[in-house]
Each structure stands twice: as C-alpha cells, then as structure tokens.
C-alpha cells in the first residue's frame, strides 16, 4: 500500500481513537479521584482477576495495582463510571445494571497469554485496547455480547484461527474494530452492520476467500495484505457512506470491467468513495469507463496488476482526483485520452512501466498543483512540452526509458520546486540548453544518461548548488571536463563515463567538499536538502546489469570518468577524497604512475584504473585501503611486485593481466627476491600472513555431546585428538605429542592465561570448575559454541567457551595460537576480555573469558520478566553508548582492525553494574581465518545481517554498523529483529521501523514501558534522537552509513544541543 492512503487511514484512526478515548475518559479523572467511593461489582472484579490469571507470567508491575484491598476502578488500565456518571447517565446505569468498568486498556505491555471468555462479564465495557502485545489463541466469541462496546483494538498480537461464528451477530455499538497484524485466517464472516461503525481494519492477516456479501458497511475499510480473492467492490456496493477501501496486496483476480465488480460504479457507494486501493493484486482486463462515476474519488491506486487496454477518458470526470497511480501494468493507448484541464487538483501522476504511446499532452501543464510526474518506461515519443515549465510546484519529473526526441526545453527551469529530473534512455537530437538558463536552483538529482546528447556540458549546471547526483553517461559529449564541478559542495555521485571528453582531469574538480568531509560540515545549504525517493537504475558497462537505487542517498559516493579520451596523469588531489567509495578512470589515455597518496582515500571500495598507459609499480601503500573490495589495473604498463597483505590477498589475476612486467601472487611469474623483499617491507603492518580456507562443517557439531557430561565428552575429545595425532604424528607448539600422552597428562596441561591475575590453571581445573561441563552450568549458546560458568579453585569466576575447528596443519595451528595471543592482549572497558585458552588436540579449544554477572542484553530485553522495567532509559542509553565504544575500539583501536561480524543483543554482556561489554569479537576470524576483511563466508545472525551480505558476503566495518543499528532499534522497541511467530512466519524489525518513520509514527516504535516511565519532554526527545541515529546506521546502502566513531559522538551528544536531528545526519 502506498504511503498516502496509509497515512490518511492512520491519521483518521488516530483521531478516531483519540475521540473514543476522550469520550470514554471524560469522567475518568473524576472517577480516579473518587475511587475510594467508586466500587465495581463483585462480578466485574472476579472477571478481571480471571483476566489477570490468564497472563500470570507477566512482569509483576503490570498487575501490581490489581489487589483486592483496592477497588478495581483504581487498577492499572481500568476506568469506571463515577458517581457523577450515575447522576448524569441514569440511562447508562439502567442499561448496565450498575456495572461500572468502562475501559480495559493495556496496550504495548508484552502481555503473553490468551484472552479469557470471562471478559464478557464486564457488561459495561465501552473500550478494549490490548494492542501491541503478544496475546495468542483465538478471539473469544463472547465479546459480541458486550452491548456497549465502541472500541475493540486487538491489533499487533499473535491471535490465530478463524473469527468466531458469533461475529455474525455483530457489535451493536461498535465504532472502531481493529484486528490487524495478527495470524487470523479463514474466511471473513458476514457481520451485521452497525449504524455506528466507522473503521474496520483486518489488514495483515491470512484471511482467504471472498469478502462476505453483504459486507459490513464501515466507512473506512482496510483488508489489505491478506489472501483474499473473488469480488471486493460488489460486496460493498450497498454501503452509501463508504469513504475508503484498501484491498491492496491480496489475490484479487476479478476484472473491474465485468459483473459483478462493474456494478459497484453505479451503486450508492460510488458517490461517496474517496480512496480506492486495489494495487498489488492480479486484476485482469481493462479499467472500465464507468470509473468516471466516482465523483468524490481523491486517490486511486491500481498499480502492480495485470490491467490492459487503454486508460479511459472518463477518469477526466473525477475532478476531485489528487493521486492517480497506474504503474506496472500493461496499459496502452495515448495520454491524450485524458483531459487534464478537468483534473485541477491532481498532485501525483504515475503511469510508469506500461505501454503508453503518443506525445506528452501539453494540457498536463494545467494541473498546477502537480508535484510528481512519473512516466518512465513507456513508449512516449515527440518533444517534451515546454509548457511543463508552468508546473511551479513540480518536484519530481521522470521521463526515462521512452522515445522522446528533440531537445530538453529550457522552460523546465521555471519549475522552481524541481528536485529530481530524470530523462535518461531517450533519443534527444539537440544539445542541452545553454543560453539564458538560470533556474534549477533546487535540483538535487540530474540524470540524462544514454539520451543521445551532444555538445559540451553547459555552464548553468554549475549553478545547481544543491546537486548531489549528476549522471550524463553514455552520450556523445565532448570537450574538457568543466572545472566548476569542484564547486558543487553537495555533489557525491558524478558519472561522465562513455562520452568523448578530452584533455586532462582538472584537479579543480577534486575539491568537492562532500567527498572530502562530512556533509553536515559543509555549507549551511545542507539544511535545505531533502530526501529524494524514486526507483533509479544505473548501468556502467554494456555487458553488466543495471544497479537499482530507490533513493538518492543510496548512491555510493563515486567519480566515474571511464571510457573517454582523457589524457595526462592521475591528479594527486584524488588522495584528499576520503569519502570517495568508487573511482573508475578505466579506458582512457592516462599515463604516469599510480599516486601513492590514493591510499589516503580511506573509504575506497572500488578502484579501476585498467586500460590506460600507466607505468611504474603498484604503490605498496594501497594495502592501507582496508575497505577495498574491487581492484583492476589490467592492460597498463606496470612493473614490479604486486603488494601483499590485507585486501590484496583476495584479488585474482584478472586484476593484473596484460602488465608483462608485474610479478608476484596471484600471477604465475614470481618476483626476484629483492623485489619481493621491497614489497613485503613496504606492506608490512597492513596485515599478517594470508591463511588458507577453513571448513565450517565441523563447527555445527559443537553442542551435540555437551549434555552427556564430562566423562563422555572429554573422552571423545581425547580419542579424537589421539586418532588425529596417530594419523599425522603432529605435535603441538610446545612439542608434546598427543599420541604419547596419558589422560592424566592431558588433564595436567597448563592453560595459557594472560596477565598476572591468575595462578597456574590446568585443564583439569576447568573440568572440575564446570562440574564435568554439566548442563546446569550452561549460561549461553552462541554461533561458535556453548558457554559454561566455571568457579576456579582460586575463587575467580570465569566463563568458558568451547570451540571446534577443522584441522588445518601445524602452520595453521601456529597462526591460530598467535591470533588468540593477539586477542588476549586486547583490553577495553567495554569488551569481554579473553583471559586465557588451551588446546585439546588439533581441533578443540577452551577459551576462558571474564564472567559477566548479569548475563546478556537479550536476556534482559526479551526473557527476564522484569527486564523491560528494570532497564530504564538511562540504563539503555548507557548500554548503547558503551557498546558503541567497544565496537569503536575494535574498528579503530586495533591493528589490524577487527570486524566483529555478529553484533547482536546476545553478544552484549552486562556486568554487575549493568555496564555493557561486547563479546565474541575476533571469533569469526578464528573460525574462518582470512587476512582480509573481505570474505565469502557469511557470518551473522538473522535480522542483524546487513542486506549487502546477501549479495556479496563481504564482511565489513560498515556491516557491523548496520548490525549495531538493528541493536539500537531492538533496545528502543524491545522487539526482536526477527519474530518468527509473526505473519508469514517472519517479521523484520527494520522494515517495520522504516514504515513507522515514513508515516510520522516514530514515537510508536519506542517501548511502551519507556514512554510510561519517562513522560518528560527531554527524555522523549532523547529517544527520538537515538532512533534517528539507528536509522542512519541501518541505511540499506553501506556507503551512506556513518563510521562507528561518528555513532559514538552522536550518542555521546544525546541530551545536549550538539546533536542535530533532521534531514541531514545527526
């Protein structure tokens, strides 16, 4: 469902809810103040206590006030009619026979259990709100007997099964019924209409079949995101006051132009409907001409269906229409069929991805309120009408993927609000306008790639001071690259590839401030930049697939000048662009050497200098580019040794071919010893020796034998060690041959401990300290093994993790031990210290860690009964700050930098003072050793894994930042990143948050316990600021995510005026 109709329904629902609560609460204050004189009936009290017993496992504070020494009217979430109500509402009292409980409201408290049928004994109930909990089971049929019920909100729970047959009776007084976001299934039963019903929301369930006929007449109906089929409109034709029908994302497959659906357009409902959303279904056939009878219609969404034929001209009769979206269908005909002069209120028109032909009608300029005109991927031809310049409110103009010709009219500059102009993949025959162009001051994206442009780049583009993305690729542009490009402070994506530019690369263009420093540090005009969202495709090479970007901020900071006729040397100024992610200078005529200062462009992930005339050696300093994932210098004249270490160990020989004088791995021609030594000494410090691959298969069996106790487990470990020792007669680094050792000798092996805190500890001590690794001592289970609590003989308490890895030979064993020694020397207040380790044979290790008394953050957030209330906002903010500092030390304080790869709440451990410590760092490198930070092994936990890992499995520091962002959202909302019990078997936290943010409902993301305990404005503002920080971290584009050091600064600034939240970064 699109944002616009969803927003309308949500706003309406919010207003309606507030109205109902206000109506029900009108006497609540008086009732509360006089609660000592307002007593509920014994039957009501008994029903409420039965309700409490159904949720007996809940945190005590939820029901702390539900005690018999107080009237139930004073219990949390309960509101009653007061003595004043008795005087002023005799009719109510007579109808309810003295029952006083009017409201039961316990939303967002993580209640888990089933709703008892006894709730129906609260016969005076007017409002029930149990939304946003974890309530399961079926909906009690007895609810329909509540004759005064106006509001029933059970949304966002785990309710399942079919709606009770008793629902056929209907709710006589109901105003709002919300059962959305559950696991309900089966058919929707026919429900008797209520004259008072205003809103019915059954969305995001598994309801199947057709809507019942007749359907209950709710003015606002939402049945989207189910599995409904059959007719929809026909079942609502009898509803004279219906205003909104949202049936998007179902399985509807009935033609709108045939009976019975077509009958709707001649019904009483056709005169009142304002919003109709049938998008994302499988509706065939055409759009009926009678659709023009929907005189009150304001928003029409029919996109993502199988509609064919032509757009009916009768749509022009709907003068109230504001939004028309017909995208992604098979519609043909011409736009001229629509009389835009009769659509004066139109603000958004999306006809993209169809087969519409003909010219763009000039009459569209009469839609003076138009803000978005999207006509891409059609068969439009002719010129772009110059009259479009009259659309002064137009912000988005997308005409790409058509057959438009002629020139681009200079009159478009009069669209003073224009932010995005996309005209790519057309056949323009004239150069870009150059004279008397002074507009486009608000333009942030200009894309006219593969459009047949000729001539040079016009100077007026240099006046587009807010420009962020400039794509003029795949044209016939000539001349020099303009120097004024460097003055575009906000430009971060420049693609001039596949043209005929000549001359040298002007150093001036490398002064782009946005690529040198953070955007928020640049000019104050950054405050005027606004998010630009639209689906955009970028294709750099004819033999590659197009990359899709859904918003401007997703573009990676890039300079792409490939496939031109550029000459001269590579300017040294490229080294200043520390924010640059991708640099492509391939297929030019560049000469000279590769500047060593390119290593200062620290964010580079892709560097392509292939097919030029470059000479000299590859600078060893480039090994410092720890994010570098793609590197190509093939087809040049380079010589000398290829640098080794860090990312360079992962590049194949295709990166270096056709350089006959290059030597060293991965090429077959070896270097002379002197050249290798020079390269090695220059590269040293960027990373250790490259280790071979390690099989992950053995990891999966770590937990199998633990429950058998020490004797069987340890015997098996020894037997495995002995058998492997016999096979290879291998020795450990101390020279002991496991084949020749007895069990007693094995038990007496010394555990390597770091620091002076511990006396000599043996393997036998660890066995005894864990009571033979008894299951009662298990305190954690991570991706690499079980964790046991151990009480050492000297009184120290530690945690022991057992790892099992593949036998990699003596050399790998040395490297494994060296890696552990490195990890043991990493100390930071917010990291779980590795205290020691020992090896048992060639596969098994026991790692000794500091013990954290309060367990994991996951336990406090999701398992401990009082964890949500005990973790106050101050605690949670401190935990996030401490976690960020620990991660920052791994990313920036360690050499080489450590990518954690598995940041999650169960890897954040809390000590006795609830201080946070990051655990399991470095284990991914131990179990899947690779000297580089780029790996093909996907490590992580579902819900925390960055989206880019699914495409390339390249673990990176920015991947850790994404996982940390998910953790922040988890701490704020107290929702798991993935809830397997939700609809469809899975429900992701990040998309939910993005949807709530997009509709202005960010405050609803926050854990209700935090909102309940912190009503102060300052605390609420802090939560929203932290929410903004999280959203930057989970940006789908890794290049747009902040570094962890920025996150630390932002979190430290929360609560002060130093943190700026808005359209820019904090």
SS3 at position 727: helix
Q: Is 518 exposed, middle or buried (0-12, 13-18, 19+ CB in 10 A)?
A: middle
Supply φ then ψ for residue 772, to 5 degrees: 60, 40
Give the C-alpha separation, 246 to 264, whole Å: 15
β-strand pairing of 220-222 with 244-246: parallel
Of 193, 179, 182, nearest in space to 241 by CA:
193
- Using the 8-state DSSP alphabet, how is residue 795 labeled? S
Half-sphere exposure of 99 (CA within 13 A, CB side): 22
Q: Of all residues in the chain, what percent are helix, strand and coil, respectively (each to 5)?
A: 35, 20, 50
> Which one from 902, 920, 1007, 1035 is the annotated catalytic residue?
902
Cα(205)–Cα(228) distance, integer angstroms: 10
Distance CA 343, CA 546 (A): 36
Which has the closest alpha carbon to 633: 652, 657, 616?
Answer: 657
First to last CA, the chain: 30
Residue of 912, 891, 907, 1007 whose CA lies nearest to 957: 891
Q: Is 903 helix (H, G, I), strand (E, B) or coil?
A: coil
Residue 666, preceding peptide bond in cis (omega within 30° of 0):
yes
Q: Is 747 exposed, middle or buried (0-12, 13-18, 19+ CB in 10 A)?
A: middle
Nearest to 145 by CA among 162, 128, 159: 128
Return d(Cα 763, Cα 777) in angstroms, integer: 17
Q: Are 313 and 288 in contact (CB under 8 A)?
A: no
Take residue 989 and report the two structure tokens written for it: 């936290």
DSSP letter at 323?
E
268 vs 682: CA distance, rounded Å: 82
Whether residue 116 contacts residue 140, with contact meaning beta carbons closer than 8 Å, is answered with: yes
3-state secondary structure of 132: coil
DSSP string covering 338-387: S-GGG-TT--EEE--SS--EEPPPGGGGG-TT--EEE--SSEEEEPPPGG
Is the four-CA dihedral 736, 738, 739, 744 of positive or negative sign?
positive
Burial of 666 (0-12, 13-18, 19+ CB in 10 A): middle
Written as six digits, the tokens of 515 are 């690529």
Q: Which structure tokens are listed for 212? A: 């019942």
Nearest C-alpha neighbor of 158 from the set 113, 106, 116, 222: 113
| Distance from C-alpha of 660 to C-alpha of 621, rounded to nearest angstrom | 22
Nearest residue to 473 via CA among 346, 364, 595, 558:
558
- Catalytic (active site) residue 64: no
The total number of residues written for the chain in this structure: 1066
C-alpha span between 264 and 236 (Å, rounded): 7
Phi and psi angles of residue 640, each rounded to the nearest 5 degrees, phi first? 90, -170
Q: What is the DSSP string of 810-858?
A: HHHHHHHHHHHHHHHT---TTB--EEEEEEETTTEEEEEEE--TT-BHH
* Interhelix angle 957-973/1017-1033, nearest 10 degrees: 150
CB neighbourhood size of 22 (10 A)? 10
539 annotated as a binding-site residue:
no
Strands 797-804 and 785-791: antiparallel
Q: Which residues are catalytic?
A: 902
Binding residue ranges for ATP:
801
């Amino acid at each position: 469902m699109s944002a616009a109709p969803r927003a309308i329904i949500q706003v309406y629902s919010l207003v309606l809810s507030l109205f109902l609560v206000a109506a029900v609460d009108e006497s609540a204050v008086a009732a509360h103040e006089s609660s000592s004189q307002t007593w509920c009936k014994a039957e009501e009290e008994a029903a409420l206590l039965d309700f409490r017993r159904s949720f007996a496992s809940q945190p005590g504070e939820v029901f702390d006030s539900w005690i018999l020494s107080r009237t139930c009217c004073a219990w949390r979430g309960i509101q009653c009619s007061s003595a004043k109500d008795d005087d002023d509402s005799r009719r109510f009292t007579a109808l309810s026979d003295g029952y006083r409980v009017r409201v039961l409201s316990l939303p967002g408290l993580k209640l888990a259990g089933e709703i008892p049928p006894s709730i129906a004994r609260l016969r005076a109930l007017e409002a029930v709100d149990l939304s946003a909990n974890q309530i399961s089971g079926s909906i009690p049929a007895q609810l329909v007997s509540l004759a005064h019920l106006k509001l029933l909100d059970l949304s966002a729970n785990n309710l399942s099964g079919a709606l009770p047959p008793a629902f056929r009776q209907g709710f006589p007084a109901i105003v709002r019924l919300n059962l959305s976001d559950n696991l309900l299934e089966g058919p929707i039963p026919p429900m008797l209409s209520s004259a008072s019903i205003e809103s019915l929301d059954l969305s995001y369930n598994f309801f199947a079949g057709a809507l019942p006929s007749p359907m209950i007449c709710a003015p606002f109906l939402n049945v989207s995101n189910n599995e409904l089929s059959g007719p929809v409109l026909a079942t609502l034709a009898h509803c004279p006051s219906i205003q909104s029908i949202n049936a998007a994302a179902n399985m509807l497959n009935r033609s709108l132009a045939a009976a019975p659906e077509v009958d709707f357009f001649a019904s009483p409902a056709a005169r009142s409907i304002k919003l109709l959303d049938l998008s994302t279904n499988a509706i065939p056939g055409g759009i009926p001409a009678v659709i023009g009878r929907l005189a009150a219609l304001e928003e029409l969404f029919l996109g993502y269906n199988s509609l064919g034929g032509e757009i009916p001209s009768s749509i022009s009769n709907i003068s109230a229409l504001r939004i028309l979206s017909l995208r992604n269908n098979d519609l043909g005909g011409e736009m001229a069929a629509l009389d835009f002069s009769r659509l004066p209120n139109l603000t958004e028109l999306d006809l993209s991805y169809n087969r519409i032909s003909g010219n763009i009608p000039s009459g569209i300029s009469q839609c003076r309120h138009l803000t978005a005109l999207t006509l891409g991927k059609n068969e439009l031809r002719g010129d772009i009408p110059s009259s479009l310049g009259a659309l002064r409110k137009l912000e988005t103009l997308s005409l790409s993927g058509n057959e438009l010709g002629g020139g681009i009219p200079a009159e478009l500059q009069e669209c003073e609000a224009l932010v995005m102009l996309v005209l790519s993949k057309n056949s323009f025959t004239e150069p870009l306008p150059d004279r008397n162009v002074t507009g486009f001051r608000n333009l942030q994206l200009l894309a006219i790639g593969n459009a047949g442009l000729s001539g040079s780049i016009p100077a007026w583009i240099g006046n587009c001071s807010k420009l962020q993305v400039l794509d003029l690729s795949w044209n016939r542009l000539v001349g020099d690259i303009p120097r004024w490009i460097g003055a575009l402070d906000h430009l971060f994506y420049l693609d001039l590839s596949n043209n005929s530019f000549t001359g040298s690369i002007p150093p001036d263009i490398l002064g782009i401030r946005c690529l040198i420093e953070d955007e928020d540090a640049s000019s104050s005009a950054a405050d005027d930049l606004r998010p630009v969202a639209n689906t955009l495709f970028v294709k750099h090479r004819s033999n590659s697939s197009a990359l899709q970007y859904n918003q401007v901020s997703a573009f990676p900071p890039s300079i792409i000048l490939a496939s031109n006729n550029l000459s001269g040397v590579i300017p040294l100024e490229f080294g200043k662009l520390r924010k640059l992610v991708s640099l492509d200078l391939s297929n030019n005529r560049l000469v000279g050497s590769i500047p060593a200062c390119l290593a200062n462009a620290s964010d580079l992930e892709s560097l392509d200098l292939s097919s030029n005339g470059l000479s000299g050696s590859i600078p060893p300093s480039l090994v410092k580019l720890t994010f570098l994932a793609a590197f190509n210098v093939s087809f040049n004249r380079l010589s000398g040794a290829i640098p080794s270490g860090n990312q360079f160990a992962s590049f194949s020989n295709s990166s270096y071919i056709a350089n006959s004088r290059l030597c060293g791995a991965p090429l077959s021609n070896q270097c002379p010893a002197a050249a290798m030594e020079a390269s090695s000494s220059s590269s040293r410090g960027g990373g250790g020796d490259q280790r071979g691959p390690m099989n992950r298969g053995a990891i999966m069996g770590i937990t199998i034998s633990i429950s058998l106790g020490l004797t069987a487990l340890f015997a098996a470990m020894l037997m495995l060690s002995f058998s492997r020792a016999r096979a290879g007669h291998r020795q450990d680094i101390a020279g002991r041959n496991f084949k020749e050792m007895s069990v007693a000798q094995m038990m007496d092996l010394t555990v390597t401990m770091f620091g002076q805190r511990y006396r000599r500890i043996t393997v036998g001590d660890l066995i005894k300290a864990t009571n033979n690794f008894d299951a009662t001592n298990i305190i954690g289970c991570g991706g690499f093994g079980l964790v046991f609590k151990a009480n050492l003989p000297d009184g120290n308490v530690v945690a022991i993790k057992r790892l099992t890895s593949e036998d990699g030979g003596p050399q790998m064993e040395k490297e494994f031990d060296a890696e552990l020694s490195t990890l043991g020397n990493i100390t930071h207040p917010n990291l779980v210290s590795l205290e020691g380790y020992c090896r048992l044979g060639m596969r098994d290790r026991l790692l000794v860690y500091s013990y954290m008394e309060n367990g994991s953050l996951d336990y406090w957030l999701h398992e401990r009964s009082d964890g949500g209330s005990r973790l106050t906002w101050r605690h949670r903010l401190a935990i996030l700050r401490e976690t960020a500092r620990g991660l920052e030390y791994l990313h920036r304080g360690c050499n080489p930098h450590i990518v954690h790869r598995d940041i999650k709440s169960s890897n954040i451990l809390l000590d006795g003072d609830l201080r946070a410590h990051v655990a399991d760092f470095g284990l991914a490198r131990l179990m899947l050793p690779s000297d580089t930070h780029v790996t093909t092994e996907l490590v992580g936990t579902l819900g925390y894994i960055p989206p880019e890992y699914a495409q390339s499995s390249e673990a990176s520091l920015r991947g850790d930042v994404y996982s940390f962002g998910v953790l922040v959202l988890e701490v704020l909302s107290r929702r798991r990143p993935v809830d397997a019990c939700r609809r469809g078997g899975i429900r992701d936290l990040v998309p939910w948050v993005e949807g709530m943010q997009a509709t202005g409902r960010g405050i609803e993301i926050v854990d209700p316990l935090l909102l309940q305990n912190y009503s102060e404005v300052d605390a609420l503002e802090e939560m929203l600021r932290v929410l903004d920080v999280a959203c930057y971290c989970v940006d789908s584009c890794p290049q747009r995510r902040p570094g962890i050091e920025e996150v630390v600064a932002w979190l430290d600034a929360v609560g002060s005026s130093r943190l700026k939240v808005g359209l820019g970064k904090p």
